[in-house]
């Protein structure tokens, strides 16, 4: 893990925040402790080295499946 004291959710949110200044993640939760955890991501500034580490690891992840079922895909009009 990049940071021993950060949760996976915080790292994921920090990564999204590091992509572009106009991208704002909107994580959903029904638990106050998860909201507090998510807010903690704002204080994590990933270094260029850490961002590269995440990028290098992600290229080894095989994405399978589709985003929508066939019926839902048709309803998107795309």
Please state the separation of Cα 62 from the chain's center in Å. Answer: 17
Of the two residues 3 and 15, the one the predictor is more confident about is 15
What's the confidence (pLDDT) of residue 2?
Answer: 58
The candidate with the shortest Cα–Cα distance to 15, out of 29, 23, 61, is 23
- Mean pLDDT of the residues in the chain: 91
Alpha-carbon distance of 29 to 56, in angstroms, equals 29
Mean pLDDT confidence for 22-35: 93
The residue ranges of every structural domain in the chain are 8-75
Q: In 6-77, which residue ranges form alpha helices assigned H by DSSP?
A: 8-19, 32-39, 48-58, 70-75
pLDDT tens by residue, 36-65: 999 999 999 999 999 999 999 999 999 998
* 33, 4 Cβ separation under 8 angstroms: no
Q: Are 37 and 9 in contact (CB under 8 A)?
A: yes
């Amino acid at each position: 893990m990049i940071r021993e004291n950060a949760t996976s959710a915080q790292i994921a949110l920090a990564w999204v925040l590091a992509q572009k200044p106009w991208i704002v993640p909107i994580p959903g939760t029904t638990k106050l402790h998860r909201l507090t955890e998510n807010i903690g991501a704002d204080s994590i500034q990933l270094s260029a080295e850490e961002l590269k580490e995440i990028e290098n690891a992600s290229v080894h992840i095989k994405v399978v499946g589709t985003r929508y079922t066939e019926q839902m895909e048709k309803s998107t009009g795309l």
